[in-house]
Amino acid sequence: MDAVTRTLREGFVAEVAVMPSPPGASSTGVPPELLRKLLASYGLVILRGLRLAPSALAAFSQHLGVPQPHPQQGPFPAHPDSRYVQVVRSRTDGSAEPYTWCWHTDSSSRLNPPRYTLLQAAALPETGGDTLFADMVSAYRHLPPHWKHLLEGAVGIHVHPLWGGTARHPVITMLPDGRQALYLNHVAMSGIESPRGTHGPGLIDSLIAYATQEDFVYRHCWGPDEILAWDNNTVMHRATPLLPGAHRVMHRLAVASPQPH
Ligand SMILES: O=C(O)CCC(=O)C(=O)O
Ligand SMILES: [Fe+2]
């Protein structure tokens, strides 16, 4: 057996303990079909005991879809060893809050935003620098009836100066197994058009506050040799600020959705 799987939060977070591969082995120890199966029913999959060089991370990502090359527009530089891997350095100088500290789904202002994101730590601070995830399936399931009614058939307008583009996405996403999820982004939504009216930042702020309440949130405290894989259709996420002077470097990679929504 290559890997042992455990549920941390039902239908939301799963963890895989990856057995070390022998030196020179071509396999990562994570069967691709296991990862795909887990991401079909969990928003976040934590692969513990796995560290991949940037080019190996890019090769591994192909099990989930088509890795998106480093975008022309965007806040993160490409890794010199792979044009698919972006390097995320957290700011510690107290300057303007980076967007990763706000609740978001990745690159939602694109017409075909990445369905999955892979994130690995290259350098971690002693404390802090956690990543938070919010379960958008549970958030939809528990949505108060007046919001369910308002958001039925509603479209979110996503615009972002850094990522570029403008896109319209349904606020409620339907998954292949019939589950539904909220699709929101606090840094890239300018409005919501519903058959029952047009709404601006007030509704967006209220929905984000509701969807990120403690009951729906999982906090990931990073350890060494971990790779996170998440489904941008079923979770929102955000980084947490660091202590002054702390150093944190992440490698990230976005995988295109097989079908635009
Ligand atoms: O740095 C983090 O914890 C999250 C970064 C992020 O938002 C991303 O890679 O998409
Ligand atoms: Fe992100």
Q: What is the pLDDT along the chain (261 residues), one digit of tens a residue?
A: 458 999 999 999 999 999 877 777 778 889 999 999 999 999 999 999 999 999 999 999 999 999 988 776 677 888 999 999 999 888 777 666 678 899 999 999 999 899 999 999 999 999 989 999 999 999 999 999 999 999 999 999 999 877 678 999 999 999 999 999 999 999 999 999 999 999 999 999 999 999 999 999 999 999 999 999 999 999 999 999 888 888 899 999 999 966 544
Q: Residue 164 corresponds to which tokens in the numbers above?
A: 């570029």
**CATH 3.60.130.10 residue ranges for the chain:** 3-126+219-256
Q: Residue 237 corresponds to which tokens in the numbers above?
A: 């996420």
Q: 3-126+219-256 maps to which CATH number? A: 3.60.130.10
The alpha carbon of 142 and the centre of ligand 1 are apart by a number of angstroms equal to 26
Q: Which ligand is nearest to the CA of 221?
A: 1
Q: By C-alpha distance, which of 99, 87, 131 is closest to 226? A: 131
Helices of type H across the chain: 32-41, 54-61, 136-141, 145-151, 201-211
Pocket lining for ligand 1, CB < 6 angstroms: 88, 100, 106, 117, 119, 131, 237, 239, 250, 252
Angle at CA of residue 86, ends 228 and 234, nearest 5°: 40
The alpha carbon of 145 and the centre of ligand 2 are apart by a number of angstroms equal to 29
Query: What is the Cα–Cα distance from 193 to 214, expressed in whole angstroms?
Result: 28
Atom of ligand 1 nearest to the CA of 117: 10
Burial class, 6, CB count within 10 angstroms (exposed 0-12 / middle 13-18 / buried 19+)? exposed
Which of 88, 97, 235 to mutate for ligand 1's pocket (most ligand atoms within 8 Å of CB)?
88
Atom of ligand 1 nearest to the CA of 130: 3
pTM: 0.94
Q: Which SS3 state, helix, strand or coil, does residue 167 take?
A: strand
The alpha carbon of 22 and the centre of ligand 2 are apart by a number of angstroms equal to 33
Atom of ligand 1 nearest to the CA of 254: 10
